Structure 1
Amino acid sequence: MRNRRLAFNMSLAAGLFIGLPAATAQAAESVTFQAPSGNIACVIASDGSGAGLVRCDIGTFTYVPTAAPADCHVKYGHTLEISRTDGVGFSCAHDTMIGSSYSVLNYGQTIRNGSIECSSDVSGITCTDTSTRHYFYVSRQDYRMG
């Protein structure tokens, strides 16, 4: 697992990422969603070639994240990401998507954009890059990455 700087700039996200219903997500360049609880919000971006990136933010959590990198001088532990270049891990982030008016990904539903697939369950959100098999699971109490 590698710690990285923020891959998704939220000012860019504000201009480009539009919450779409799951039925239209397949063809979209970027999709956003949130858990029914509103405590987890995510964006999935595709570069057009099928390569995907995903960032999920969690508002409140009780888990203990990995140690922040020495050069991280902003919030850490609330943002998880997957990218083909950096793999999976926590990221430093000065912003959050929590509180955005994204579409809800109901429990039991799955959304896919490019190679990224995310599923909502009553216990949390799981996102996987189906091409690399990198994944993360995040909930208020726990996280897993691989």
Structure 2
Amino acid sequence: MHKIATLTVAAAVTAGVLAPTAQAAHSKIQFLAPSGNIGCQLGTAPDGSAFAWCKADEHRWIAPQSHTCPRANVPGAIGEPGGENLQLAEGQAPCFGFVMSQLFFSGQYAPPTLHYGDRRSVGSITCTVDPAGVTCADSKTGNAFQMSRDAYTLTAPAA
């Protein structure tokens, strides 16, 4: 009888250790613009909120020296205020920040290259690729950013 009880307790402990925990699903989409110069990532944080960030491998514009982009503006990414990555999180104004992540890989690790007119969405955020660059917008708020090699635009309509 003692051995059966021990095995039952051991089985219960093992099942508890191996049982999956309930967490919100993450998603991540990466892509490059047809020029290969702009790379973007869209995703969801553990709380389900969507975000997008893009970077230009080469650009002719100068990012403002601003620290208005909160560290957590891109949930799930390691980021810092001040930087040259344009960021947009659901319900937040677009901003510049630094995201410690690589997009410009080659070979099998390179993100897919989209065609002009292609778009990718996560939650309320959609990024569209066109000859003028990449635009990411939050359909709930109207907040957006657009970037190209030559220029950038941040849009945050007044509430």
Q: TM-score, normalised by structure 2?
A: 0.63
* 1:32 aligned partner: 30
Please report how far the alpha carbon of residue 53 of structure 1 lies from its aligned counterpart in structure 2 after TM superposition.
0.3
Following the alignment from structure 2 to structure 1, what is the Cα–Cα distance between the partners of residues 81 and 46?
31
Following the alignment from structure 1 to structure 2, what is the Cα–Cα distance between the partners of residues 92 and 127?
17
Q: How many residues align?
A: 117
| Structure 1: 4+ residue segments shifted above 6 A | 72-75
Following the alignment from structure 1 to structure 2, what is the Cα–Cα distance between the partners of residues 93 and 50?
19
Are the structure 2 counterparts of residues 36 and 91 from structure 1 closer, same or farther at C-alpha, using a change threshold of 3 Å? same
Are the structure 2 counterparts of residues 95 and 112 from structure 1 closer, same or farther at C-alpha, using a change threshold of 3 Å? closer
Which structure: larger Rg?
2
* 2:133 aligned partner: 124
Greater RCO structure (CA 8 Å; 6+ sep): 1
Q: Pick from 112, 135, 150: which aligns with 1:103?
A: 112
Within 5 Å, give how 1:55-74 maps onto structure 2: 55-69=53-67
Q: Which runs of 5 or more structure 2 residues have no equivalent in the other structure?
A: 1-25, 68-78
C-alpha contact (below 8 Å) 1:89/1:145 kept by paired residues: yes
C-alpha contact (below 8 Å) 1:29/1:48 kept by paired residues: no
Q: Which runs of 5 or more structure 1 residues have no equivalent in the other structure?
A: 1-27
Please report how far the alpha carbon of residue 84 of structure 1 lies from its aligned counterpart in structure 2 after TM superposition.
3.0
Deviation per CA, 1:79-128: give whole Å up to 9, x if none.
Answer: 11001364211102455422360011211112212111111011200000
Determine what percentage of the aligned residue pairs are the same residue.
Answer: 25
Please report how far the alpha carbon of residue 41 of structure 1 lies from its aligned counterpart in structure 2 after TM superposition.
0.7
* 2:95 aligned partner: 89
Please report how far the alpha carbon of residue 51 of structure 1 lies from its aligned counterpart in structure 2 after TM superposition.
3.0
Deviates more, 1:79-88 or 1:130-139: 79-88
Q: TM-score, normalised by structure 1?
A: 0.68
C-alpha contact (below 8 Å) 1:75/1:93 kept by paired residues: no
Higher helix share: 2
Please report how far the alpha carbon of residue 63 of structure 1 lies from its aligned counterpart in structure 2 after TM superposition.
0.9
* 1:115 aligned partner: 124
C-alpha contact (below 8 Å) 2:91/2:141 kept by paired residues: no
Following the alignment from structure 1 to structure 2, what is the Cα–Cα distance between the partners of residues 128 and 74?
20
Q: Which amino acid aligns with 1:67?
A: Q
Please report how far the alpha carbon of residue 48 of structure 1 lies from its aligned counterpart in structure 2 after TM superposition.
7.5
Following the alignment from structure 2 to structure 1, what is the Cα–Cα distance between the partners of residues 120 and 34?
14
